[in-house]
């Protein structure tokens, strides 16, 4: 898996050095993510429809979950130790 750097430090998967510690992540469009359930995520990647974006601001990390949220784990993604 490629190294993923991210500076969203209130995400459950964020680690020191701005590194993403998720076992896998799903990037999708803002529009799709805004209407998709929390439990649809990287482990379901083949179920995501293919789509296009015109600029980076139209994409987002679907795997984000706030630290200490009760939604941690609903998507099957784990945090690397
Ligand atoms: S899951 Fe997404 S938002 Fe969270 S640290 Fe990784 S890349 Fe950043």
pLDDT in tens, 12-60: 999 999 999 999 999 999 999 999 999 999 999 999 999 999 999 999 9
Residue 76 lies in a domain: no
- Which residue among 7, 11, 74 is best mutated to probe the pocket of ligand 1, counting the most ligand atoms within 8 A of its Cβ? 11
- Assigned token pair, 51: 């789509």
Q: Is the CB of 20 under 6 A from ligand 1?
A: yes
**Does 64 score more than 80 pLDDT?**
yes
- Greatest Cα-to-Cα distance within the chain, rounded to the nearest angstrom: 35
Residue 3 lies in a domain: no
Containing structural domain, residue 33? 25-69
- Assigned token pair, 3: 């190294």
Residue 59 lies in a domain: yes
Residue 34 lies in a domain: yes
Residue 1 lies in a domain: no
Q: Is the CB of 13 under 6 A from ligand 1?
A: yes
Q: pTM to 2 decimals?
A: 0.94
Number of domains comprising the chain:
1
Contact between 44 and 22 (Cβ < 8 Å): no
Residue 48 lies in a domain: yes
């Amino acid at each position: 898996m490629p190294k993923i750097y991210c500076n969203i430090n209130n995400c459950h998967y964020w680690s020191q050095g701005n590194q993403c510690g998720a076992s896998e992540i799903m990037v999708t469009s803002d529009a799709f993510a805004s209407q998709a359930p929390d439990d649809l995520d990287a482990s379901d990647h083949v179920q995501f429809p293919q789509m296009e974006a015109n600029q980076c601001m139209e994409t987002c990390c679907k795997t984000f979950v706030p630290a200490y949220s009760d939604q941690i784990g609903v998507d099957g993604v784990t945090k690397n130790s």
